[in-house]
Structure 1
Amino acid sequence: MRAAEELFAQGAPPQGQPPQYMPGPTPGPAVPAQAASAPTAKEKKRQEKEAKRKAKAAAKAKPGKSEDAAAPAAAGERFDVPRPGGRLSGGRATHVAARMTAMVTVSLLALGAVGVMAYSAGHPAPVETGITDEQVSQFRLTSFPVERAIAFADRYARLCANQNPEQAEQRRQAIARLSSSGVDTTCGWDGKGSQVVAYSVWSGYMEPIAEYPQHGYYIGIQVQLTTGALRTLSVPVWVEDLKSGNGMRVVGDVGTLPQPDQATAPAVKDPLQVDSELSGDLQGKLFADFFTSWGSSNGTTLTRYVAPGASNAARAGLRGALDSPKVSDVKVLLPKGVSATDGHKWKVDDVTWARVSVQWKTGGAHVTERYRVQIVLTDQGWFVKDIRAGVPDEAGGKAPTS
């Protein structure tokens, strides 16, 4: 504390802080510390004289001016410094404390300003987050406009895969409009033979282009021809403006990627335990009527078969996309750990799943589809709570022709 007081008395900031301009009078040099003792008669007289002088100076000061402004002569005045642990006497203690607080505050603000200026001078600088490139790709921590780039790559892949000698020049010009100057505008085609694309879709493949960091990716587009042949083309796409997705170009020639490997799927570990009696009961009493109403999205009749709070899928229906349903098979699953031979008794509020096969009419043909239907038992019987499409194959393995 004493070191700080001496520095303050000399008009210098504490060590480690830049010098600051402080308006107002500057205190004079400190006097040696004196022992705290009762004032003598001479000292009392001096203090009384000083009090009168300050009162007279304050009376002469103009309104709105501080005591320091009214008494400039006090700038070089000496004042007592107490011993360590002591206190300054009179109004001087408040004055010095305020001055010290002001000096420290201004110094801290200055340091803050210097810090902001230093950051601004170096911005934007890369921030080390410890996230690898693989994690950036995995969690999509990138500004690359993926969807727009995929659409662009799909358009280019279809141009390359559609081949017709009679339209070769139009095809070449269309490819040239999308690619950079060194790209083969024939897309490698020699102009002979023809093929037509039936459909195309993004394969899920993306790989950064090393020559165009952040701005370029190889994008896999799966193309199926009308002959049934399937190819996945790797299209190198560059994007100029990552924020808007504008300024795209194909910046290299395409190539064909191998198709994903196929493997033998394992069989389901735990065989399904089915309540055969309940399955047969619900096939005609619940599911036949439910699928008829669900297929046509008949809201009036659907309310008879869906539970309160049922999912949107259960309440919405197919809106006539398929019609004339016939429920051909139902398997109501028993709770986990319960065997079909246990004679399970269902209770109100029990919830389970049923696997249902339904034959639909579509146009002039029939198609059989399978569903997972969640049902709940209430006081009034079983009701549909949710429905989801698709049922897993319990046997696993591979089809005989694959």
Structure 2
Amino acid sequence: MNPWESAAEALKAEQQRATAAPSAPASTPPPARETGAPWSTIDEKSGTAALRRLGRGVLWAVVGLAVITGVRAWIVPNQTTTDNNTAAPAKAAPAYPSDAAQAVAGRFARAYLTWDADAPETRASALAAVLPDGADTEMGWDGQGQQDVLAVQPGAVTPTTQNQARVRVDVLIRTTEEEATPAKGKKKATEAKTADRWIGLDVPVVKSAGQVVVTGQPGMVGVPEHGPKAPELKTPETDTTFGQQTADTVDDFFRAYAGGDTETVTAPGATVPPLPDGMTLVGVTSWTADAGTGDDRTGTARVTWRIGQAQVEQTYRIELTRVASADAQRWQVANIHGGTA
């Protein structure tokens, strides 16, 4: 016989007998009877419930973390290895103050290459202004001769070591030389003769306390006789028809340009500063318009000017724009700059 069914039958019979019997006085509770049931209900302790709730919270926290970081990152972690032999990238050194180096080297070159035997203190004073305190202001000059500096052009700055650099400076000098000439008498006369030439100068400088100073004597170097070969540049295609249509526009502009008044021949809003005095227009040698479409076009003009007793041809790039009014339209100059670049 099934023990579960027997227990259920016994429980049912006991309930029926309890219903049929008279109720006992309220003050005397009936004695507890064994029901014969094979189980009993046990209250759960509060500590057990708290542990179960804590476990559920940890489980949900793990699920949320997996969603955020990705389960794959747990199963196959990112394998990042560090090679001890690989050095950390070095921090980029601050750029050398090339502008300051060029300025100091240019001033030094002018003072260094200017001398006059009749006024040696002038050169010493100019050098003292660009040399460290207490430096030798003679800088190897023997105190003889006369030489002037006509132009100074600072060039490349080549950093070396220990915050030092070498600055290339091209200098145009004028040297005065005495030349003996035959005379009618027994004595020969001397005549002063000047010669202009470009020379190169390598000036050593050093950066110290946020400034650049010359560290010592420079060295004269040669100047190239000519520049490197220029690359082959692509020539823009031309529009002959448009060039012929706008030739008078370009010619009128240069006549007004030479006269110092371009307001009537330039597009609205365009500003073209006047030419310096002493330039006279000889004529527009050629005008070539670039191929293109639209209201803005570009071309190249070759123009001959007279300066003093000489004539010189120059090249300009001209930008034209179409200006329309209620009853007409015309092309006017919007911008101009020299050269072909």
Same fold (TM over 0.5): yes
2:167 matched to which residue of 1? 219
User: TM-score by structure 2 length?
Assistant: 0.58
Query: Cα 1:271–1:154, aligned 2, differ >3 Å: closer, same or farther?
Result: closer
2:187 matched to which residue of 1? none
1:153 matched to which residue of 2? 105
Query: Cα 1:377–1:180, aligned 2, differ >3 Å: closer, same or farther?
Result: closer
8 A Cα contact 2:261 2:274, kept in partner: no
Question: What is the CA–CA distance in structure 1 between the aligned matches of 2:218 and 2:125, rounded to whole Å?
Answer: 17
* 3-state SS of paired residue (1:329): strand
* 3-state SS of paired residue (1:151): helix
The higher radius of gyration belongs to: 2
Matches within 5 A, 1:117-156: 141-142=94-95, 144-156=96-108
1:240 matched to which residue of 2? 208
The structure with the greater share of residues assigned to helix is 1
Report the alpha carbon displacement of residue 260 of structure 1 after superposing the two structures with TM: 4.2
Give CA deviations for 1:104-160 in whole Å, capped at 9, x if unaligned.
xxxxxxxxxxxxxxxxxxxxxxx965577xxx6xxxx52x44333322221211121
Q: Which of 192, 198, 213 matches 2:150?
A: 198
Query: Cα 1:268–1:218, aligned 2, differ >3 Å: closer, same or farther?
Result: closer
Matched, 1:254 2:218: yes
Tell me which amino acid in the other structure corresponds to 1:192. Answer: Q
8 A Cα contact 2:285 2:304, kept in partner: no
* 3-state SS of paired residue (2:55): coil
Tell me which amino acid in the other structure corresponds to 1:259. Answer: V
Matched residues, number: 249
1:386 matched to which residue of 2? 335
Structure 1: gaps (5+ residues): 1-36, 45-77, 89-126, 336-345, 393-402
Query: Cα 1:323–1:171, aligned 2, differ >3 Å: closer, same or farther?
Result: closer
Matches within 5 A, 1:1-400: 39=43, 82-83=51-52, 85-86=55-56, 141-142=94-95, 144-172=96-124, 174-176=126-128, 178-180=130-132, 185-203=137-155, 205-210=156-161, 212-213=162-163, 216-226=164-174, 227-242=195-210, 245=211, 248-260=212-224, 262-263=226-227, 265=229, 268=232, 273-276=237-240, 278-283=242-247, 285-296=248-259, 298=261, 300-302=263-265, 305-306=266-267, 315-318=271-274, 320-321=276-277, 323-335=279-291, 349=294, 351-362=296-307, 366-377=311-322, 380-391=329-340
Identity of aligned residues (%): 22
Question: What is the CA–CA distance in structure 2 between the aligned matches of 1:300 and 1:270, rounded to whole Å?
Answer: 34
Question: What is the CA–CA distance in structure 2 between the aligned matches of 1:182 and 1:172, rounded to whole Å?
Answer: 12
Question: What is the CA–CA distance in structure 2 between the aligned matches of 1:264 and 1:154, rounded to whole Å?
Answer: 25
User: TM-score by structure 1 length?
Assistant: 0.50
The structure with the greater share of residues assigned to strand is 2
Tell me which amino acid in the other structure corresponds to 1:258. Answer: G
Give CA deviations for 1:162-187 in whole Å, capped at 9, x if unaligned.
12112224423543564358965333
Give CA deviations for 1:23-61 in whole Å, capped at 9, x if unaligned.
xxxxxxxxxxxxxx9845xx68xxxxxxxxxxxxxxxxx
8 A Cα contact 1:153 1:221, kept in partner: yes
Question: What is the CA–CA distance in structure 2 between the aligned matches of 1:231 and 1:200, rounded to whole Å?
Answer: 10
Structure 2: gaps (5+ residues): 1-40, 59-86, 175-194
